[in-house]
């Protein structure tokens, strides 16, 4: 796999993973919160809070937030490593291994989420693994 294809694979995987995971986490937020509570939290949300889900730590399970941060950090790190390795011109193809590894990792976790939360209806079955927290109050001190 040449350098251009490695960059395309990693960038495309990053885009697809980011969009898929953000959509999935958005669904969890909407599942957990009613319209009023969601609008109140969304109203004064900063970019940092939007990016890292700081206002939704009680609603989104820690393992999913960890996966999100892993995707957010690992893809650009692999992209940068691929560029550096290309300019160093190592004899073995690290960039190709990174591109294939990232693609395989993304396919695995997306498939796992799709299987665990599969529903015959158009939306994911969040209630199967994530209990709905009724009457939960948001602690303003935990906003970050």
* Residue 135 in this model has a pLDDT that exceeds 60: no
pTM of the model: 0.84
Kindly report, residue by residue over 19-77, the tens digit of the pLDDT: 999 999 999 999 999 899 889 989 989 999 999 999 999 899 999 999 999 999 999 99
Q: What percent of the chain has pLDDT over 90?
A: 62
* DSSP string for 74-129: HHHHHHHHHHHHHHHT-SS-HHHHHHHHHHHHHHHHHHHHHHHT--SSSS--GGGT
* Residue 141 in this model has a pLDDT that exceeds 60: no
pLDDT at 133: 75
Once rounded to an integer, what is the mean pLDDT over residues 100-106? Answer: 96
């Amino acid at each position: 796999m040449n350098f251009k294809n490695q960059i395309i694979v990693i960038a495309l995987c990053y885009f697809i993973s980011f969009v898929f995971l953000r959509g999935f986490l958005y669904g969890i937020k909407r599942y957990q919160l009613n319209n009023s509570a969601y609008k109140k939290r969304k109203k004064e949300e900063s970019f940092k809070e939007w990016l890292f889900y700081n206002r939704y730590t009680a609603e989104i399970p820690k393992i999913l937030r960890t996966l999100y941060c892993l995707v957010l950090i690992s893809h650009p790190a692999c992209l940068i490593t691929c560029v550096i390795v290309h300019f160093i011109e190592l004899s073995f193809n690290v960039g190709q291994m990174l591109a294939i590894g990232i693609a395989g990792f993304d396919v695995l976790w997306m498939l796992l989420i799709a299987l665990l939360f599969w529903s015959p209806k158009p939306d994911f079955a969040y209630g199967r693994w994530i209990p709905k927290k009724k009457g939960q109050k948001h602690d303003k001190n935990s906003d970050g």
